Chain A
Amino acid sequence: MTERFVMLAPLALPLLILLPLAWAALAFVLGAGRGSRLAIAAAAVQLVLAFALAAAVMDGGPLHHAAGGWGAPLGIDLVADGLAAAMLLLTQAVALPLFIFARGYFHQDGAHPDAAGHHFWPLAGFLVAGMNALYLSEDIFNLYVTLELVGLAAVGLVASGGGAAQTAAALRYLFAALLGSGAYLLGVALLYGAFGSVSMVTLTPLIASASASAGAEAAEVALIAALLMVAGLLMKSALFPFHFWLPPAHGGAPAPVSALLSALVVKASIYLVLRLWLGPLAPLLTPLAWLPTLLGAAAILWGSWQAIHAERLKLLVAYSTVAQLGYLFLALPLVGVGSTGASASAIVTLQALAHGLAKAAMFAAAGIIIHATGRDRVDDVAGIAERLPLTLFTFALAGVSLMGLPPSGGFLAKWLLIDLAMARGHWPLAAVILAGGLLAAIYIFRVLRLAFLNLPEAMIEAEHHKARVVPRSAEWMAFALAAASVLLGLFGGLPLLQLVDGVGAGTP
């Protein structure tokens, strides 16, 4: 059984792209509001494929798939290494429960044919396809196309919220995304002009030798290209100070969309930054590693600060994303292994997974709370422990992971990151991580402590009167995501770190 599983794995590379493309197209044909079951079934298959892929990569190292059979540099190669396999796993693992959640969430609006659920399914399908393609691609121009696919699908999903605020947020997001991908495209053009290839594998030695020979003009162009690409991607990643588009887009979209965007979409461009930074562009950018780290630290502090002061619940969660994304950039100068033997990229992956699961759960929980209360202010959470205990518990569990408290995945990542920072002597980084955790506690417990308040009886009555039914399946799916983010710390860390670092690598 297991062996056949692993034998199927090479096929998982193209299938993880083709399958969502196919069901997205089918959902489009099916029409408004339909396709939820299709999407859920397909997402389950994709999750199995992602597991098979991860198992195969863990056993036998990276898998390659040459699209069209040409191979780089003429063709486009798909490559699944540990990092890609981990991100694919995250994407499918978040997508499946979120789809079930979305089905419950949108279902109750069935009476409104033009509700937000209208075009959720095909757009979500293209979004997932785009992300899967992005994680697997090894070709920087192909990556541009996947970036656009992800970006436009995400914008469409934000706009599906329907209100004026959502439209404005979608536009703001669209222009930020287009500016980012434009810069990235120019970088690709320059690299192709300088080296004649868009394949990362081919480019890596060429860039290395160009930057090694002093005074080579190609290196100068390559550096500008690298900066353009990274700047463009940082714009899409909403790294401080490019985060301006994220809070309205993520805070305004319908809950399943916010969850998809915050948990997955921003990770895609960050993944690409890491992949390029630690891969082909490493010789050019390594001296600049402090810059995104500095911005990451600023993001943690600024995002947390804004979350502490946000008045709307979903905006609070969105700003928390701004802050949490900062952690992913802290590790760039920390190449190498810490006292535990986990590499920086493995730790970042762990953090990305923990945050992805937790943030999806938190947005879902926030969505349920808002759905039930009909209001979106943080203060309206008061007394929610009484009415939605499971959802509050979900929110709290997700918060545990975001604060980096044990035994969550966020905690494990934070621990390893601090360990790595200290092993490298980067004390300020460790301090920022600790401070970030405390600030996160402030904004999370801002919500939790209100939730435990007893409301006056009359008010409870009034609330119950207004309360809308949230499907249990939606509540449980949000809970499953939160529980996964916590259990990740206990049981997921070891396999994940081994997956990214390769089995046996980096023993202390």
Chain B
Amino acid sequence: MKRLAVLTAAAAFAALLIGALLDLPAATLDLRPLLAEAMPVSGVAHPVTAVLLNTRGYDTLLEIAVLLVALLGVVVASARADVTGDPGRTLAPPVATSADPMVSALARLVTPLAVIFAIYVLWAGAHRPGGAFQAAAILAAALVLLHFARIVPACAAPSRGLRIAAVAGFAIFLAIAALPLAGGALLQYPPAAAGLLILAIESGLTVSLALVLAGLFLLLADDPGGRR
């Protein structure tokens, strides 16, 4: 009964909204020309990167905070997965069994390529599609692969070094966001230095985001093939 009601409501909502969308006139305002005007002083050539790290860079700053919060939440959730004890369950023991040699070989092959590709994507982000987040995602994927190859172990809680690395990108971003406050506004880069600053932010973010994204996985992961 409840299901029927929910489905009906969802269908009615979709029909209503689609009906309205079909007649929707063009948007009153167009930000594209405004953005085009701003591009020369944005410090990058790729508009999406300009929006992401300059005009709406503040969004991105908070977004990184969201990621860190999620990581923290995962740490909380994996810290004591079982209140009734059983500590061995979460503190993954050193990997004893060896991985599938194919996976291992693949991981060894792919990782350097992934790093190079990630650096390329990061650098390219200034001009064309790509940027910190995509680069970080590639690195994170490589880390996960390394985990499957039993090279990177799962961990219950990040060590301090890892925590510093995970926060470093955010800290750099935060510092660069705060510096212009001395004379102007939050995240208001001097146009001449904008490109450099954005690259600095992106580089930091790539490393940290990769760790955070991989951390979301590695903190939870059991060793392949089952627990213990």
Q: Answer yes or no: A and B touching, Cβ < 8 Å.
A: yes
A69 proximal to B (CB < 8 A): yes
Q: Least Cβ distance of B37 to chain A in Å?
A: 9
In contact, B58 and A196 (Cβ under 8 angstroms): no
In contact, A162 and B83 (Cβ under 8 angstroms): yes
In contact, B24 and A193 (Cβ under 8 angstroms): yes
A211 proximal to B (CB < 8 A): no
In contact, A25 and B38 (Cβ under 8 angstroms): no
Chain B residues with Cβ below 8 Å from A163 are 83
In contact, A18 and B178 (Cβ under 8 angstroms): yes
Chain B residues with Cβ below 8 Å from A70 are 38, 54-55
In contact, B186 and A119 (Cβ under 8 angstroms): no
Counting chain A residues whose Cβ lies within 8 A of the other chain, the interface size class is 35 or more
Contact residue among A22, A28, A76, A118 (Cβ-Cβ distance under 8 Å from B59): A76
A435 proximal to B (CB < 8 A): no
Give per-residue flags for B19-46: 1 if the beta carbon is below 8 A from chain A beta carbons, else 0.
0110111011111001100100000000
Q: Least Cβ distance of B101 to chain A in Å?
A: 38
In contact, A133 and B185 (Cβ under 8 angstroms): no
Known contacts A66-B185, A67-B187, A68-B187; A196/B27 CB under 8 A: yes
A142 proximal to B (CB < 8 A): yes
In contact, B21 and A156 (Cβ under 8 angstroms): no
Known contacts A28-B167, A76-B58, A159-B77; A202/B20 CB under 8 A: no
Known contacts A14-B181, A142-B58, A142-B59; A69/B167 CB under 8 A: no
In contact, B79 and A218 (Cβ under 8 angstroms): no
Known contacts A14-B178, A68-B55, A156-B72; A28/B185 CB under 8 A: no
Q: For the complex, give the distance between the alpha carbons of A326 and B95 in Å.
A: 54
A145 proximal to B (CB < 8 A): yes
Q: For the complex, give the distance between the alpha carbons of A189 and B16 in Å.
A: 16
**Number of residues from B at the complex interface, CB < 8 A:** 55
Give per-residue flags for B85-111: 1 if the beta carbon is below 8 A from chain A beta carbons, else 0.
000000000000000000000000000
In contact, B174 and A25 (Cβ under 8 angstroms): yes
Q: Which residues of A in the span 186-214 have a Cβ within 8 Å of any Cβ on B?
A: 190, 192-197, 202, 206, 210
In contact, B29 and A67 (Cβ under 8 angstroms): no
In contact, B28 and A68 (Cβ under 8 angstroms): no
Chain A interfacial positions (CB closer than 8 Å to B): 11, 14-15, 18, 21-22, 24-25, 28-29, 31-32, 65-70, 73-76, 78, 114, 118-119, 122-123, 126, 129-130, 133, 141-142, 145-146, 148-149, 152-153, 155-156, 159-160, 162-164, 167, 190, 192-197, 202, 206, 210, 216-218, 220-221, 224
Q: Nearest 5 A-B pairs (CB), nearest first? A: A196-B27, A196-B29, A156-B73, A69-B188, A217-B23
In contact, B24 and A221 (Cβ under 8 angstroms): yes
Chain B interfacial positions (CB closer than 8 Å to A): 16-17, 20-21, 23-25, 27-31, 34-35, 38, 54-59, 61-63, 65-66, 68-70, 72-73, 75-77, 79-80, 83, 157, 160, 163-164, 167, 170-171, 174, 177-178, 180-181, 184-189
**Smallest CB-CB separation from B90: which chain A residue?**
A114
Chain A residues with Cβ below 8 Å from B31 are 73-74, 196-197
Q: For the complex, give the distance between the alpha carbons of A217 and B24 in Å.
A: 5
In contact, A18 and B174 (Cβ under 8 angstroms): yes
Q: For the complex, give the distance between the alpha carbons of A216 and B63 in Å.
A: 35
Q: For the complex, give the distance between the alpha carbons of A146 and B188 in Å.
A: 20
Q: For the complex, give the distance between the alpha carbons of A73 and B29 in Å.
A: 9
Q: For the complex, give the distance between the alpha carbons of A48 and B118 in Å.
A: 44
In contact, B186 and A196 (Cβ under 8 angstroms): no
In contact, B24 and A75 (Cβ under 8 angstroms): no
Q: For the complex, give the distance between the alpha carbons of A130 and B72 in Å.
A: 15
Residue pairs across A and B with Cβ atoms less than 8 A apart, 25 shown, are: A14-B181, A18-B174, A25-B170, A25-B174, A28-B72, A65-B186, A67-B58, A68-B58, A68-B188, A69-B180, A69-B185, A73-B34, A74-B38, A114-B79, A118-B76, A123-B76, A149-B66, A149-B69, A155-B73, A156-B73, A159-B76, A163-B83, A194-B27, A196-B28, A220-B23
